Amino acid sequence: MKKGFVTIFVIVAIVIVAGILIFTNTGGSDVNSDNNGNNNDAGNTGNGAGNGGSSGPQTFTVTISNSGYSPSSLTINAGDIVNWENEGTQDNWPASAVHPTHRVYPGSDIAKCGTAEGNNIFDSCRGLANGEEWSFTFDEVGTWGYHDHLHANLRGTVVVQ
């Protein structure tokens, strides 16, 4: 009887430990989803520039076209800057997920556009025309989904380490 109890106890303990390890390695709450439950994490396929012992913040460029963002996923360090450049023919409004509130990145909210706080949020607060640029400094570590407020099907991800 004791041998059966010990065996069951060991199996239960292994299942619990395995569950904890699996949940911890999947990133749990770092993946953002939009209002439809779609995962906004496009993977860690950033261009790698700026990730390698540099002493100051690096600037990364995301090119905007009518079909989306390139790269669509970018991995950077906290304190780095991402610059969005619109090369498309339509206006584009990069902003934190989720559409339409833009509240996923800490402190961001579309309601802050047009206020003194508007310059400090992950939201361009307006459409960028062809040739225009907008930059944001990422200080918060995490995986941050974003979208085009004017064309909400266009999405990207910034992973901040």
Q: Where are the domains of the chain?
A: 59-160
Contacts of 77 (CB under 8 A, 6+ apart): 50, 51, 57, 58, 160, 161
For 26-84, how does the pLDDT look when each residue is reduced to its tens digit (9 = 90+)? 333 333 333 333 333 333 334 444 444 567 999 999 999 999 999 999 999 999 999 99
For the chain, percent of residues with pLDDT exceeding 70: 66
The HSE-up count of residue 57 (CA atoms within 13 Å, CB side) is: 13
Residue of 73, 78, 75, 74 whose CA lies nearest to 56:
78
Model confidence at 119, in pLDDT bands (50, 70, 90)? very high
- Which of 159, 155, 121 is closest to 36 using CA atoms? 155
CATH pick for 59-160 out of 2.60.40.420, 1.10.760.10, 1.10.357.10, 3.40.50.300: 2.60.40.420
